[in-house]
Structure 1
Amino acid sequence: MPKKKKTGGKKKGGKKGLKTVLSTFEYDMPDVAELGVQQVRYVSLTVKMVELVHLNFEWELVPTLVTIASIKDSIRARHGGTVQEVLLYKNLVAPHNLISSDNSATLTEVGIEGVSQGEELPKITLFYDFPPLEVDCPLLNDPPYEVEPRFLEPEIPVGPAVKHQAGKYSTGKGSVLGISLGTPARG
């Protein structure tokens, strides 16, 4: 077995008195707009269904770079995926407030301007609606027919007294159509 080499120990010698002097580092931060990067802006977004109030929801801090498709996807998720075509309206349900059907458009591109984080967020309301689901099932597409109400006659024996398993009950006070309401017969 070969002998082990000695390791460790102090190193002697070295360069003494030689110091490197570095100049101070100066750096001017470029403006974000100069770099071509969009500053992220935010809004507080309330999404309301036209008909049902209990399906409304609110997002507190939404970047305006969010696409219309992601908002529509969250609406579809709230309805369990049964909604196909979602119509979005900005601030008021009217034909001139209908947001374009371009799903790749962002909130900024449809005219919703936000503010920087830390400032008071503008409150934006989007209303949504969708057409009913169309299916090819003949049972679901068949119009309902009217049913005439009819009163069923009870199949209860009517007589002076009705005997039950528990014993004899009276038809006096507290009985309906010969059925006692729980008052045992006396006697």
Structure 2
Amino acid sequence: MPKKKAKKHAAASSEDGTPEAHPDAEYVPLAIPEETVELVTLDMRLLNWSYLNFKWKVKTSTRLFAVKNEIEKRHGPITSLKICKDHFAEANELTDEMLTLHEYGIDGAPAFEKEVVCLIYYDFKPTQHDNPLLLATEQY
């Protein structure tokens, strides 16, 4: 089988090594800044019971509904979930699920810098079950 011929690549610059000028004299290339990922450690504290506290490291671009999903994943079916920043008060309650942590004023730091910790307090009511099988205890 005969060898394939090598393809010739079009040179992006002229023969002397200088880049070709853009046809538009007013052209300025768009400078896109490098996006830095900011991380924050959420110190999640249940209001009345410290055994269920946990820490969760997330990006500041994480939306509030993801935080609510993580709480529900850890505790099971819950209702009336309230999440507050810094201390548990109605003025500090985070209500809009589509806002990011950064939009709520929770700033982070790049991974190579010192860890940023934000206190988040939460409270909820467990889902009430009417099913007697779910309320029964094991008997041996």
- The equivalent residue for 2:108 is 114
- The equivalent residue for 1:160 is none
2:46 to 32, 45, 49: 49
- The equivalent residue for 1:59 is 56
CA distance in 1, matches of 2:59, 2:75: 24
SS across alignment from 1:74: helix
- Tell which structure's C-alpha radius of gyration is larger: 1
How many residues align? The count is 114
Aligned residue identity for 2:79: Q
Aligned residue identity for 1:32: P
CA distance in 1, matches of 2:56, 2:116: 12
- The equivalent residue for 2:135 is none
- The equivalent residue for 1:75 is 71
- How far residue 132 of structure 1 moved from its aligned partner, in angstroms, is 4.8
CA distance in 2, matches of 1:8, 1:105: 62
- How far residue 75 of structure 1 moved from its aligned partner, in angstroms, is 0.4
Aligned residue identity for 1:84: T
SS across alignment from 1:128: strand
SS across alignment from 1:88: strand
2:120 to 116, 126, 131: 126
| 2:86 maps to 1:91 | yes
Aligned residue identity for 1:86: L
CA distance in 2, matches of 1:77, 1:84: 13
Tell me: CA distance 1:51–1:24, structure 2 relative to 1, closer, same or farther (3 Å): farther
Unpaired segments of 5 or more residues in structure 2?
A: 4-13, 20-28, 133-140
Unpaired segments of 5 or more residues in structure 1?
A: 1-6, 10-19, 140-187
What TM-score, normalized to structure 2? 0.67
Report the RMSD for the aligned CA atoms in angstroms: 3.0
SS across alignment from 1:129: strand
CA distance in 1, matches of 2:113, 2:107: 13
Alignment check: 8 A CA contact 1:32 1:39 kept: no
Tell me: CA distance 1:24–1:43, structure 2 relative to 1, closer, same or farther (3 Å): farther
CA distance in 2, matches of 1:110, 1:64: 10
Tell me: CA distance 1:23–1:48, structure 2 relative to 1, closer, same or farther (3 Å): same
